[in-house]
Structure 1
């Protein structure tokens, strides 16, 4: 019997779509160095200018994001409504139906277009099977009709034949003449009826809520786009939300059936619902803020003092720093340094910093970086990648395509929104340093020259054009394949004509303004450096130029010769007060216990059990509920409350220490019990030994007594 030929094994491992990130990264993560919180190369807050606090106090111990389910975010729309996934109804298109009178009138209207013979043929076609060879399409010439009239014919066919026949309008050229034809046919045997359904919804755009867990917003959008068959840029949303969290936010897609989107969502490991329709597309920034529900675990502190700290935070607010996730993961190569090189048009340094080897890297990425750094063979290094979404892969492809020394051209392979994160990181770094120095040297009083919006209702401007600052996206991954195009140099005259509009958004406070009592420190804004920005008209304005000069830059140099990299600047509030802040303490027994009900828990009927169960156990948590404006970091709120570093490494170290204390506490009673048991046994043994000695002594005395007696 001949042996069966073995199937050829592919060298490329299959990428499975799992609940977590797909691809070989899951395998590599298993080989990561042990994460024990001792990573000395992890970025600290003081290294990015985060040093001051609003209120004094010792703070207390509490672990942030012990589990991703401890961090919930719900978007707040422009109407101030907190968005919650609570309706899974899938809307269906309105079926066009005509009553007998309307049908008779339509047949009469189009009697010259659709003759009795054509009607008979369509009736015969409707009765045939889909695979019947005789089931041939029937063409109706409709060149003379407008779009509305063609729609009336489609409605008539739908009313008469339902799903037995489908019609589509096509254009054909015959004898150099263009003809419009409604082609009537049997539905294709293996095609989805959705593809043949006319758009009968009350709006061009389908709006819906997306609930995701432990997934980046860009990844959710990319997965939906892939399964629907559109480019990721056609999936629109108002802002990016945290990855390590449970989040709900609004998406929109143009002219795709809700049932089709639901199917794509099921394969993308996200939940969707609350469908609405609109003729308006969602844009980044179309939100009023975010509602946060956060658990701090392993809380260790006096409850009275903690409540006082919460009241201070509610009334006095916190410094509106840019959080650590803004600056990457590595202290040796912070993202703002790459931004400086990009702003100085030093493209070689930009490329080298992105590809430079670093500690605590993913094992496969460490090998890629090492190979490129040593050999400078971009094609060979790029071939080591299996996932394509990494920014390093895009850059290596660019170097391989345009030449090992054409760094400027290679960088254009990186999506614009990802590349801009580097210079925006530098702007954020400058803002943090200025904010800290402003608080340290001048405290919380207004000073002449402070900037405020002329219109007090102005929202904070978003530094990132079409990219929300709440993003916690890994700087190393690309959202889509949209390359940066080389822009023409911006004429100086054109740029100067545009300066005044943005500069007039703010004014400098005078002594009279301060005395009037119309302004507080919550009205003060600080600029993010740029070429089209108003700086404070006091010593703070000079601080900006000092910091820029440290890095070989100036405000004028931020008017980059490539328009894409030109930094106009923006304004950002110095202090932020949380809204609707509430809190409560809760006991729990295990680190795995769920303490906040998510939108999906409510749909599944689990919310009551999670929220209303009396907590038991030796562990204590603090449950926080509050709202923040767009682009404000919840981690900076938590930093002000805890008075501790919010870096992942520091939080992990705290959690390890607290868990160690819990284990020691649980083991202590057992040890004491064992010691008591041992003492009891020893005591019993001593009594027995004493009794034995007494008995021996008595027996000896009795023997001696007998010996001494005469016989």
Structure 2
């Protein structure tokens, strides 16, 4: 994130503000403020068409609720007539200039919040629906993160004003675009991670880091994929795939029930199923639960499917993708246990000759093409090329016994491959492909020495924006830390990479037991 000042799009037309006299500008304000759209004013202009066009552009920019058009008088003079748009025109365009893209893209910096919670706060402060926001992927709460967000027809200036009231969040780098962001529309993520109080043999530590860089790690979905609550998100996903809407609602409202300020609301819901009363007790920070309760208020439990639609689509998809990821993790464990870290005949690889742009496009559209390894082609590939499918109704499975592994796991949850082609398209899983082993990209690391356990050992993007630098004596400290930087493709988890180095549990429950 490089700035917090609103930036208009590059193709914005040049506006000549001096074309309007203060007298004409006052008259236009009066027309704009008038509730009636019958009042209009006429302004004489020159015969030059380019000058008239510049005038129309100026009206659109300074008075987007007005419309202007050129007329010719009886004596042949050109005049511009300006009047207020009809209510239907205002609703249709929302007073949004026609030259401007409908979506404002911006960078969101956040601390100690996942993307859904952060977007919930933005929607509250802006008084717009959370569904008006879109992003390419969800960023974890247990990190300081920066990501691109898009929102429908909210001005850069209005977004920028939020920086005065946001805590541990910042928005900036605004542009207007014709299209919103879409889930999966990114290559990946860049990580900067500090491992504190690192002990043990220096040579062993160095070998572990080199092994991660050169050989990679098993590409499991991390624990974040399954939520940090007592009820994992894949349980919600299973309920949705079974079309058991009531169960899904109870599970979602129960996700944070262990937290003190949520327990009262959860107990009230369990006893009464009264969405209105429960909403009065549900904390404002529980944006997903509150959106769901508002959906129940409108549709009732008899139409629970539509009530669930009040939750942003990305979040609802996250639940079924969580279940899909659980199945993949179980299958890849069997694959590695059965065949080890080498390609075998019948494995799948992505077809060659795809550009990086093709890869991103196919990921979004789920049209990746794969081929089966044969005795003739197996020597052309390594384990880093092999993929396994995430279960879906439109994927190819390896030709060895792994297809039966998928069926066995799904059957254990009373789910079939046919059920993944859900009648509610938001919950339909066409499937995709994921590499078994992943190597970090551009991985570097350095070792730091320190004494004070509370001081930061790296700088954030916000620190850089504010001109702060890291003040640290890296030679005199008694404690050692490793600072790593690397990139991973989307949906690959840094926690799984770190597990190869630390050989410890990366779950939140275990990490909170550590002292440093």
TM-score scaled to structure 2, two decimals? 0.79
Report the CA distance between 1:451 and its aligned residue: 0.8
Look up the SS of the partner of 2:42 in the other structure. strand
CA deviations over 1:625-647 (Å, ceiling 9, x no partner)? 11111111111111121111111
Report the CA distance between 1:387 and its aligned residue: 2.0
**Within the alignment, does 1:343 sit opposite 2:241 as a pair?**
yes
Report the CA distance between 1:430 and its aligned residue: 0.4
| Aligned equivalent of 1:361 | 258
CA distance in 2, matches of 1:335, 1:622: 32
| Aligned equivalent of 1:86 | 2
Unaligned 5+ runs, structure 2:
31-38, 70-78, 85-93
CA deviations over 1:127-186 (Å, ceiling 9, x no partner)? 99x99xxxxx971179xx99977533357999xxxx9x97973489xxxxxx983269xx
Task: Compare relative contact order (CA 8 Å, sep 6+) and give the higher one, 1 or 2.
Answer: 1
CA distance in 1, matches of 2:81, 2:386: 65
CA deviations over 1:342-364 (Å, ceiling 9, x no partner)? 21223343334344598x71123
**Within the alignment, does 1:649 sit opposite 2:515 as a pair?**
no
Report the CA distance between 1:259 and its aligned residue: 4.0
* Contact kept in structure 1, 2:221 and 2:329, CA below 8 Å: yes
| Aligned equivalent of 1:623 | 483
Paired residues for 1:378-389 under 5 Å: 378-387=275-284, 389=286
* Contact kept in structure 2, 1:462 and 1:631, CA below 8 Å: no
Unaligned 5+ runs, structure 1:
1-84, 104-118, 132-136, 173-178, 185-194, 467-500, 660-711
**Within the alignment, does 1:151 sit opposite 2:151 as a pair?**
no
Match of 1:291 among 182, 187, 190: 190
CA distance in 2, matches of 1:280, 1:406: 32
CA distance in 2, matches of 1:196, 1:404: 37
Paired residues for 1:58-457 under 5 Å: 85-87=1-3, 90-91=6-7, 96-97=15-16, 139-140=41-42, 150-154=52-56, 169-170=66-67, 181-182=81-82, 207-225=105-123, 227=125, 230-252=128-150, 258-269=156-167, 270-275=169-174, 279=178, 281-331=180-230, 333-355=231-253, 361-387=258-284, 389-399=286-296, 402-403=299-300, 407-455=304-352, 457=354
CA deviations over 1:592-617 (Å, ceiling 9, x no partner)? 1011022232233322535xx43543
* Contact kept in structure 1, 2:390 and 2:431, CA below 8 Å: yes
| Aligned equivalent of 2:402 | 540
CA distance in 2, matches of 1:126, 1:357: 55
Aligned residue pairs total 482
CA distance in 2, matches of 1:633, 1:361: 27
Look up the SS of the partner of 2:380 in the other structure. coil
Look up the SS of the partner of 2:376 in the other structure. helix
* Contact kept in structure 2, 1:326 and 1:425, CA below 8 Å: yes
| Aligned equivalent of 1:80 | none
Report the CA distance between 1:563 and its aligned residue: 3.0
* Contact kept in structure 2, 1:463 and 1:570, CA below 8 Å: no
Report the CA distance between 1:326 and its aligned residue: 1.2
Look up the SS of the partner of 2:281 in the other structure. coil
Look up the SS of the partner of 1:511 in the other structure. coil
* Contact kept in structure 2, 1:585 and 1:622, CA below 8 Å: yes
| Aligned equivalent of 2:89 | none
Report the CA distance between 1:211 and its aligned residue: 2.9
* Cα distance change, pair 458–575 in 1 and its aligned pair in 2 (3 A): farther
CA distance in 2, matches of 1:261, 1:403: 34
CA distance in 1, matches of 2:331, 2:444: 31
* Contact kept in structure 2, 1:356 and 1:373, CA below 8 Å: no
Report the CA distance between 1:245 and its aligned residue: 2.3
Report the CA distance between 1:441 and its aligned residue: 1.5
Report the CA distance between 1:434 and its aligned residue: 0.5
CA deviations over 1:57-108 (Å, ceiling 9, x no partner)? xxxxxxxxxxxxxxxxxxxxxxxxxxxx335565478763499xxx8xxxxx
| Aligned equivalent of 1:507 | 371
* Contact kept in structure 1, 2:59 and 2:68, CA below 8 Å: no
Report the CA distance between 1:570 and its aligned residue: 1.3
Look up the SS of the partner of 2:457 in the other structure. coil
CA distance in 2, matches of 1:644, 1:627: 21
TM-score scaled to structure 1, two decimals? 0.59
* Contact kept in structure 1, 2:40 and 2:81, CA below 8 Å: no
* Contact kept in structure 2, 1:378 and 1:404, CA below 8 Å: no
* Contact kept in structure 2, 1:343 and 1:423, CA below 8 Å: yes
**Within the alignment, does 1:529 sit opposite 2:391 as a pair?**
yes
Greater radius of gyration (CA): 1
CA distance in 1, matches of 2:505, 2:67: 64
**Within the alignment, does 1:609 sit opposite 2:456 as a pair?**
no
* Contact kept in structure 1, 2:262 and 2:283, CA below 8 Å: no
CA distance in 1, matches of 2:26, 2:239: 71
CA distance in 2, matches of 1:198, 1:357: 42
Report the CA distance between 1:450 and its aligned residue: 0.6
Paired residues for 1:548-587 under 5 Å: 548-587=410-449
* Contact kept in structure 2, 1:357 and 1:366, CA below 8 Å: no
Report the CA distance between 1:542 and its aligned residue: 1.2
Report the CA distance between 1:455 and its aligned residue: 3.2
Look up the SS of the partner of 1:215 in the other structure. coil
| Aligned equivalent of 1:192 | none
CA distance in 2, matches of 1:564, 1:182: 45
